[in-house]
Amino acid sequence: STEMGEADAPRLADGCGTDAVRTRVQTLLAAGFAFVGGWADSICMLRYNAFATMMTGNFFQLGFTLVHPRVNYPVPQFVALPKGRLPDPVFFLMVIFCYFLGVVLYRLREARAPLETGSLFGPLLALLLSLIEVIDSLCLQGQDIMDSRWVCCLLAPIFAVQNVMTMSGGLS
């Protein structure tokens, strides 16, 4: 018999078991964000010798450049470093600062409108990532005017927001 009893009513009332679907979607989103973060860190390390999505490596790089300021990293052939660039410790401090700035901005917005924060930042992050990648690939690579590694400072707050969003229940 295919008749539904009262025991099926709670399951159907919420959309036929949407809790399981929601959990699966959230898990897939979290895995997708983790993959994007790892992919972005790999690209940033190859391009800029820095990390945009996680700050642990930048703290180590900062410490290393403070202790050994004269070490020259191998430069990939597609990254042109200008002659008058700032010292590496300043660069790593700025990347770390920009990351924490992204965390603060997200938390401030979350305090004002907790239910709307994810839907506001999600599309904004996608748009900013696309825009920064286009600017980096079309305008900054190979330019002697600006050290293209500073793009990492633009990426760091974006990935900070992504990390905070996925950790604080922003996907629910």
Are residues 109 and 160 in contact, defined by beta-carbon separation less than 8 angstroms? no
Which string of DSSP letters, residue by residue, matches 43-82?
HHHHHHSS-SS-SHHHHHHHHHHHH-TTPPPPPPTT-PPP
Res 74: pLDDT: 58
Are residues 118 and 170 in contact, defined by beta-carbon separation less than 8 angstroms? yes
Q: pLDDT tens per residue, the chain (172 residues)? A: 455 555 554 544 445 568 888 888 878 887 887 888 888 888 888 877 888 888 988 898 888 888 877 666 555 555 555 554 556 888 899 999 999 999 999 899 888 888 787 778 778 888 988 888 887 777 756 554 456 778 888 899 988 988 888 775 555 5
Domain residues of the chain, as ranges? 18-167
Look at residues 155, 153, 160 and name the one whose alpha carbon lies nearest to residue 95: 153
